[in-house]
Amino acid sequence: MSNEQNTLSVKIFGAEYKIKGADPAYIAEVAAYVDGKMAELDRRLTTGTPTKIAVLTSLHIADELFRARQEREQLLEELKGRAQALGTALDACLDGD
């Protein structure tokens, strides 16, 4: 597979970018997400340069990532606790036989 086949042209906030990657559908989805977030922020701001909008959008997306990581960690801890409780209950049932 050549490099050309792994390159996708995407448009984000009116600018075209050539992105290399293994999965064009994934690249297109991520680019569309970023473009949508930038357009959303642009509509909410009264004034903003493309650079300012890009930085604020990056901060917003990073915040989403950090919150998702925190939520995942909390869920993992909860699942570990439940698994441990189930294991303890199962051991108690088996010891009762």
Q: CA–CA distance from 52 to each of 3, 40, 46, 49 (Å)?
A: 32, 13, 12, 5
CB 61 within 8 A of CB 40: no
Predicted pLDDT of residue 77: 97
pLDDT average, residue stretch 54-66: 98
pLDDT at 47 over 90: no
Q: Rounded to the nearest 5 degrees, what angle is found at the Cα of 82, between the Cα atoms of 77 and 86?
A: 150
Predicted pLDDT of residue 1: 38
pLDDT average, residue stretch 27-40: 97
Q: Is the pTM of this model over 0.75?
A: yes
